[in-house]
């Protein structure tokens, strides 16, 4: 585990645009994982190995992993492509 004090610089270096930002950033191999991503989506990505930069759940939606509570919001896991565009990886 590596801790970096300047998350903005880390996000910029990884190609995570502001609109994809969240509260946590992780890296596994060549992929970034931004925000509260369900484990099954991480496992799927590592199994399928698509040609993308990583996955993100922008913001901190209630009901996402680590944000459980009385309220649940719908949210999407986005796959961020090499060109910085995104597509929906999963809907919750």
Q: What's the pLDDT tens digit per position in 5-56?
A: 677 787 878 878 788 877 888 899 999 999 999 999 999 999 999 999 999 9
| Prediction pTM value | 0.83
pLDDT for residue 1: 46
CB-based contacts of 72-75 (< 8 A; 24+ apart in sequence):
none
Question: CB-side exposure of 31: number of CA atoms within 13 Å?
Answer: 22
pLDDT for residue 5: 67
Q: What's the pLDDT tens digit per position in 47-86?
A: 999 999 999 999 887 778 878 888 888 999 999 999 999 9
Q: How far apart are alpha carbons 7 and 23 in whole angstroms?
A: 9
């Amino acid at each position: 585990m590596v801790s970096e004090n300047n998350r903005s610089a880390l996000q910029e270096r990884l190609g995570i645009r502001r609109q994809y930002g969240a509260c946590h950033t992780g890296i596994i191999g060549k992929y970034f994982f931004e925000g509260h991503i369900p484990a099954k989506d991480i496992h799927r990505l590592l199994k399928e190995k698509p040609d993308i930069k990583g996955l993100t759940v922008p913001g901190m939606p209630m009901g996402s992993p680590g944000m459980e509570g009385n309220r649940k919001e719908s949210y999407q896991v986005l796959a961020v492509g090499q060109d910085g565009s995104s597509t929906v990886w999963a809907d919750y």
